[in-house]
Amino acid sequence: MSIKPELLAAAGSVADAAAYLEAGADALLVGEDRFGMRLPGSLTLDEIAQVVQLAHGQGSKVYVSLNNLMTNDLLPELPAYVKALGDIGVDAVEFNDPSVLTTIKDLAPQVKLHWNAEMTATNYSTANYWGSKGASRVILARELNMDEVTDMKPQLQLEAQVQVHGMTNIYHSKRRLVNSYMQQQGRPVNDGSLGKERGLFLIEAERQDEKYPIYEDINGTHIMSSEDICILEDLHLLMAAGVDSFKVETLLKPRHYNEVVIRTYRKAIDLYAADASAYAFQEEWMDGIRAIQDPERELSFGFFYKEQVY
């Protein structure tokens, strides 16, 4: 008997949080841009407290993203922030940097630790290493394939979280690359207009149909995938393997879209949990998502069925 997997979505505002809980999310990821990374919106501690109240009120959880690449100047701010999160009662934080791990263990030991190193969380041994340091969950790299994920699961001594839907980050630089480019063109922009809301994207000469979103924020430049992962059709494989948490990435998507996606995955998870043997994927689930999918972004299996070489 496996435990019913969790459905997790990132929320960029208190209103997002309410909507995604309503749509069926079991857990929300929120945070502030200084400490977190690539969040759909930056929340203050007050707002995080509101989200916690909302979520806990209906038995859902709240995780806070602290998985930025930390620099010295952030370290003095970390203890107060971590203590505040502990007081607010958040359930877990996502970390990558060891400084966050040690600060949580020292100052808010009741808060669980989820190890999220994005593209570099690629094997069970390293996940278990962070488990031995106190992590209770690993967020697996989106570049792993289905076999790697399902084979890994029995060897993991901590929970596994897998992204099932949405875009992924494919490049992160501390440089302000769009800003630099515009300076180079002689048309500098310094009005903060190169962020998520601008709808900027890159096209590479030989891949005219692929649009790679790009934006800048206080953490540098982020380039995102041209396709959206959607593993709904094979979600049962991940459920059968016992993956503990499924993440819907809500970044750069309208709220309505995310609500539909969350509802759809909610339905699939509930059906599987009710009777795994009777479970079958239904094509019309996809129709609902396809109807609101950006026609210029393909829904794909991501790397789930790809062979990568090196």
Partner 1 sequence: MEAMAQPKYKGKRYRLDKPELLAPAGNLEKLKFAVHYGADAVYIGGQKYGLRSNADNFSFEEMKEGVEFAKKYGAKVFVATNIYAHNEDIEGIESYLRSLEEAGIAAIIAADPAIIEVAKRAAPKLEVHLSTQQSTLNWQAVKFWKDEGLPRVVLGREASLEEIAAIKEHVDIEIEAFIHGAMCSSFSGRCVLSNHFTDRDSNRGGCCQSCRWKYDLFEDGREEQGHWVSEEQQLMEQPAPAPSPFKPGVTQIPLFQPEDNQFTMGSKDLCMLEHIPDLIEVGIDSFKIEGRMKSIHYVATVVNVYRQAIDSYMADPEHYVLKPEWIEEINKAANRPLNTGFFYDTPDHEDHIYEPEEKAVPYDFAGLVMEYDERSGTAIIQQRNHFKPGDEIEFFGPEGTFFKQTVGSIQDENGSELDAARHPLQLIRMKLEQPVRHFDMMRKRKG
Q: In the complex, what is the shortest distance from the CB of residue 261 to partner 1, in angstroms, rounded to a whole number?
A: 13
Cβ proximity to partner 1, 206 vs 275, nearer residue? 206
Contact yes or no for 258/250 (Cβ under 8 A): yes
- Among candidates 50, 124, 61, which has minimal Cα distance to 93? 61
At 64 the three-state DSSP class reads strand
- Among candidates 170, 122, 116, which has minimal Cα distance to 138? 116
- Tokens 């948490």 correspond to what residue? 245
Cβ proximity to partner 1, 198 vs 236, nearer residue? 198
Cβ proximity to partner 1, 256 vs 270, nearer residue? 256
Cβ proximity to partner 1, 122 vs 136, nearer residue? 122
Cβ proximity to partner 1, 201 vs 301, nearer residue? 201
From residue 98, how far is each of 4, 73, 162, 207, 305 by CA, in Å? Answer: 30, 15, 22, 38, 32
Query: What's the longest Cα–Cα distance across the chain?
Result: 63
Contact yes or no for 158/138 (Cβ under 8 A): yes
The DSSP annotation for 213-264 comes to: EEEEETTEEEEE-SSEEE-GGGHHHHHHTT--EEEE--TTS-HHHHHHHHHH
Cβ proximity to partner 1, 269 vs 289, nearer residue? 289
- Among candidates 228, 194, 229, 188, which has minimal Cα distance to 214? 194
Q: In the complex, what is the shortest distance from the CB of residue 192 to partner 1, in angstroms, rounded to a whole number?
A: 12
Q: In the complex, what is the shortest distance from the CB of residue 49 to partner 1, in angstroms, rounded to a whole number?
A: 19
Cβ proximity to partner 1, 148 vs 233, nearer residue? 148
Q: CA Rg, the chain, in Å?
A: 19
